Amino acid sequence: MQPFSSRSVATIAWLLLASFPFLGAAERVTSHHLRLNLVSEQSVIVPGQEFSVALHFALDPGWHLYWVNPGDSGEPPRVEWKLPAGFTAGALEWPAPRRINDWQVVDYGYENELVLLTRVQAPPGADGTADLQANVKWAVCRDVCIADRAQLSLKLPVASKAEAAPPKVLFERTRANLPRVAPRAWKASAVSTKDSFVLTIRGGSTGIPPKAGVEPNFFPLEKQQIENAAPQKFSATGNTARFVLKKSEQLLKPVATLKGVVSFGPGQSFFIEAPVSERR
């Protein structure tokens, strides 16, 4: 399979995937510049209870994967679940990303590793052994991007009592980096100017987390709202934080609510929904 440029991955990578062979059904696969595991937090399934599984990508140095909004190029990993009758899988839970500078563009994604959690609900009548299958697609990038896919399978016995599996520390570490719902005391709002959004977060009775030497960033959930490669101007006064975000040249319509993740450093990321008003 031939690599291709990161600038073209968003338009052709997923068209190419249909022609790629599966890597085979397994709990672990090794592919181009990464290893992928499908692991469960529990070694057994309890009927009627929820449990978590993880897709664990371990990447070679310098290579990266993408967040749900990939930024200027790329596509996020995707998964299609094939579960036993009565089992249901929730949405992927995405850790807070980081800004990845790649030539003249900025991507939102992950280096070194990415762990995507999913909550699976077992039906009350579950018995025997459950075979969980995940069809996973991704694009891994450095100077070029390579699209790939794999099918992984995980067989778990059903029992009356849950037992923690050895990877439990992986799940705990990943949950610590998941964005949280912002404290109720926080008030987020945004003002739309000619060229920018001015996002303001007022902490109220709950303090804004300290920067601790890490430059805070805002990651929009929707594409083409801000210029990803433009510097984000951050300032803090007392218990108020403010981001000045340059508007995307591709923004075609007004934004009513600016939704995204604001990160103040490791373990300090929060979902933000800021109503947008026009500057008069």
pLDDT at position 25: 35
Q: Could you give the 3-state DSSP secondary structure of residue 168?
A: helix
Map tokens 């101007």 to a residue. Answer: 233
Is residue 111 within 8 Å of 100, Cβ to Cβ?
yes
User: Among 25-29, 167-171, 201-205, 217-221, which is the least confidently predicted range?
Assistant: 25-29
For residue 279, the tally of other CB atoms under 10 A from its CB is: 9
User: Among 134-138, 205-209, 255-259, which is the least confidently predicted range?
Assistant: 205-209
Q: How many helices (H) and strands (E) does the chain have?
A: 2, 21
Phi and psi at 230, nearest 5°, equal -75, 140
How many residues are listed for the chain in this entry?
Answer: 280
Mean pLDDT score of the chain:
89
| Same domain flag for 20 and 148 | yes
| Same domain flag for 84 and 147 | yes
- Name the pLDDT band for 259 (thresholds 50, 70, 90): very high
| Same domain flag for 150 and 219 | no
Q: How far is CA 4 from CA 109, 146, 219, 261, in A?
A: 18, 7, 26, 30
Mean pLDDT for 122-140 is 96
pLDDT at position 2: 39
What token pair was written down for 151?
């099918």
Start-to-end C-alpha separation, the chain: 54
pLDDT at position 249: 94
Paired strand residues for 184: none
Paired strand residues for 244: 198, 233
- Name the pLDDT band for 46 (thresholds 50, 70, 90): very high
For residue 166, the tally of other CB atoms under 10 A from its CB is: 8
Number of domains in the chain: 2
| Same domain flag for 164 and 208 | no
- Name the pLDDT band for 264 (thresholds 50, 70, 90): very high
- Name the pLDDT band for 276 (thresholds 50, 70, 90): very high
Burial pattern 250-261, b for ≥16 Cβ within 10 A else e, equals ebeeebeebebb
Is residue 27 within 8 Å of 153, Cβ to Cβ?
yes
* CA 76/CA 141 separation, integer angstroms: 11
CB-count exposure of residue 89 (10 Å: 0-12, 13-18, 19+) = middle
155, 176, 197 - which closes a domain: 176
Q: Answer yes or no: is pLDDT of 180 > 60.
A: yes
| Same domain flag for 230 and 155 | no
pLDDT at position 16: 41
* CA 171/CA 176 separation, integer angstroms: 9
pLDDT, tens digit, 9 for 90 and up, residues 86-130: 999 999 999 999 999 877 899 999 999 999 999 999 999 999 999
* CA 26/CA 121 separation, integer angstroms: 22
Q: Answer yes or no: is pLDDT of 47 > 60.
A: yes
pLDDT at position 168: 86
| Same domain flag for 56 and 188 | no
Task: Check which CATH number belongs to the domain holding 244 and give it.
Answer: 2.60.40
Task: Check which CATH number belongs to the domain holding 154 and give it.
Answer: 2.60.40.1250
| Same domain flag for 108 and 209 | no
| Same domain flag for 243 and 205 | yes
* CA 155/CA 132 separation, integer angstroms: 6
253: which residues sit within 8 A by CB, 6+ positions away? none
Higher pLDDT, 212 or 6: 212
What token pair was written down for 144?
């070029």
What H or E segment, with its residue span, contains residue 157?
A: strand 144-157
Domain that holds residue 224: 180-278
176, 211, 231 - which closes a domain: 176
pLDDT at position 36: 97
| Same domain flag for 186 and 143 | no
- 98 closest CA partner among 75, 65, 74: 65
Q: Answer yes or no: is pLDDT of 11 > 60.
A: no
| Same domain flag for 49 and 143 | yes
| Same domain flag for 95 and 233 | no
176, 203, 223 - which closes a domain: 176
| Same domain flag for 125 and 211 | no
* CA 27/CA 131 separation, integer angstroms: 11
| Alpha helix positions (H), the chain | 9-17, 168-176
Q: Answer yes or no: is pLDDT of 220 > 90.
A: yes
